[in-house]
Chain A
Amino acid sequence: MRSLILTAMARIFFAIMLAGSVWVLLRGHNEPGGGFIGGLVGAAGFATLALAAGVETARRALVLHPVVLMGAGLAIAFVSGVPGIVTDASFLTHQWGSLAGVKLGTTIVFDLGVYMVVVGGVLSFMFRLYEEDAA
């Protein structure tokens, strides 16, 4: 069953939720927020799109296969911990520097990895459940 209202609004919601998820991800830098919550919001955006316009559309919008996204995210989170090994010999010791007055650290890379793992993980379940529903 396709609802006209849902289909019409889904793309707008999708865009808003995706933007919101990125905002939550970046806000986690200094305030409550971060990769996990951001990832959940982002995954909810894709799930809305999948409900309204079908799983195929959502899969195309995601570009990468959810599992690939999950693997890439885990790899990115892993890489963020490596500099710590080089500098003071402990994994996940985060490095800090500043760029144009904004404090930047490898933590944001870690959070980005978490974000991708959460989006990929939630969607790999979600898409499969939706697809089997349709079948």
Chain B
Amino acid sequence: MDLEDIKQFIPQREPIIMVDRLVRVAAEEAVTSLVVRDTLCFVNETGCLSEPGLIEHIAQSASAFAGYAARAAGATKPPVGYIGEVKKFHCYRLPECGEELFTTIAWGPEVGGVRIVSGETRAADEVVAETQMKIFTR
């Protein structure tokens, strides 16, 4: 599969796409990237990606990971997932325009359509945000 075309893995469309690429995928872990730019809808008036923008980026990174797995299993469309819960979110600083984010997603088992995911976002090799979340599919 061509990892470059992110739209094949996520159901979100412009103007709310918050992940650029799936960088690599392993069995229980994936890495995505996003370049912060002022055209992103969660970039605030000071040119920084907001905390909700970071959470959405982590959620869509998890969505891309799930979409990759679904495509690999033969699905033609990416599954639509929703955030059920955000827990233990920690933001250390807001990344600025021009910075490239790398996010590592680790996922736990899926129980009853709910999956527990943890995500850690780095910029310039320092952690800027981390969170756990529950994602459910309708």
Query: Are A and B interaction partners?
Result: no
Using a CB–CB cutoff of 8 Å, the interface residues on chain B facing chain A are: none
